[in-house]
Every structure is written in structure tokens, then in C-alpha cells.
Amino acid sequence: MLVLFACSKSSDVAPNPPVTPPPTTVEPPKDTVKQPPKDTTSLPPKDTVKQPPVEIPLPNPASFTVEAVNTNGPNITNYLLYLPDGYNADESVKWPVVIYLHGQAGIGADINVLKNSSLPRMVNGQPFVMVAPQCRTSWWNMDALELFYKAVISKYRVDPNRVYLAGASMGGMQTWDWAIAHPERFAAIVPVAGKGNVKLAANIKNMPVWAFHSANDETVGVAGSRDMVKALRDLGSAYVKYTEYPTGGHDAWTRAFTTAELYTWLLAQKK
């Protein structure tokens, strides 16, 4: 009997699957662990003034007159006028003028509420004309402000190269907006507790600005001023001053407008 044996070639036998070692967790070096990026858009500029400024004492209340103005609508119909000592002494002299824009507390028909507010309360004895229009509707209207500006320039002996704009809260926002829309109007601006459009900051990169804000302002966040100041400095502006108070809430204007240096700085600016 013949017995045949079949032998399988080694190549016909399925190999055993490779053994995969269990995964190991490799910790990255400590210095390569990525942290979430910090939000730097609302950090105060490095040279932010934080020390308490030298304050001037409250002067006696100024004498104001209430003047009417036509701005082709209800937004602005009257304003407070302050004329400095000596205004009528020499009709050849032209004076600097500060336009002050109030916040929401000043909206309405009772213009007397403006007399004891921030800048008007401090104006007595200052060597400039001050005009403070009253907003009678919910917000400042740019067309009305432009007509108001033209009325002031034509009615009073003011120097068109020394027109200054200041405002608080709602007025601080409008200060940024008006200056951005018409930078040719103003020699300098003082926006307090406001915010502006950083995308349009280039319009005022050559304009002197002194902004004020409180770090703990919960009504108009401090980023409103920080971001505008940063945008201007990123554009190369060398004309920006910024004072930030660590406390005070929304009321940054009381300290801002009692800052002695503010008026010296403001009156030194010319177009």
C-alpha cells in the first residue's frame, strides 16, 4: 500500500497578527502646554495714569444765560451759555470755546439740571466760552449738533482754531462720534466714560484726546475707553492721554473735570 502525505508550504499558512503595544500617554513638556490666549483688547495701556490727579476746589457757581437755538427739529432747542470775565472788554479778541455734551440724566426740558453737572459746575473763572446744549430727545442727533456748532461759531467771538469738545457718558460717546465724523471741527476732545468706533479711529489719529474712565464702570464698560485709546496708539497717535480711576463706577466725570491739569492742557491745543 502506498500512502501519500501532503505537506503545506509555509507560505500558505496565515501569519499571526502583529502584537500592538498598548497606547501610552505622553505628557508634553511643561513649557509647551498651551494656555488659552489672554484677552488683551481691554487691558489698560501701559502708560495709563492711575494716580489721583491734583484736583481744583469747587468754584462758586457760574452765571449762565439760557439761549435758544434753531436746529430744525426738537433734538436741541436751547443751551447754557457761559461767557468768561473780560469777554466784552475787547471786541477784537476771539476766545476759545468748549462745547459740553451731557449724559442721559440731562435729557428733557429742564435745562437747570445742567448747571450743577460736571463741567458747567467747574467753569466759573475759566478763560473760555462754554456752551452746553440740552438734548430733548432720547439721543444726540448729529445734524442738530452740526447746526448748533455753526450757530455758536457765527454768534460769538470764538476762535475757530480753538474749539474743544467734551462730554460724559452719553455725551462721552457722542464726543467720540462727532469728532470722528467731523475731525476738522475740533482742536481737542475730552470723552469721559464713553466709547467709540475703533474701526474709524484713524479719522482722529492726529487729534489731541484726553479720555477718562473708571475701571469698575458697569454702565459703560471701561473697555470703551481702553479700546479707543489702544486703537489710536496702534495707529501711531502721539496725542492721546488716558486717565483711569480704579474706583468710582460710572461717575468718572466729577474727578475728570476737577483735574487742574486738564484745563491747562486743553487750552494749549490748537488746530
The CATH classification number of 56-267 equals: 3.40.50.1820
- Our CA angle for 111, 112, 113, nearest 5°, is 90
Are 269 and 239 in contact by the 8 Å Cβ rule? The answer is: no
The answer to whether residue 41 scores a pLDDT higher than 50 is no
Between the alpha carbon of residue 143 and those of residues 106, 149, 173, the distances in Å are 19, 10, 16
What is the distance between the alpha carbons of residues 214 and 244, in angstroms, rounded to a whole number? 5
Q: Which residue is associated with the grid cell 499558512?
A: 13
Digit-coded pLDDT (tens) for 94-106 = 999 999 999 999 9
Digit-coded pLDDT (tens) for 225-257 = 999 999 999 999 999 999 999 999 999 999 999
Hey, where are the domains in the chain? 56-267
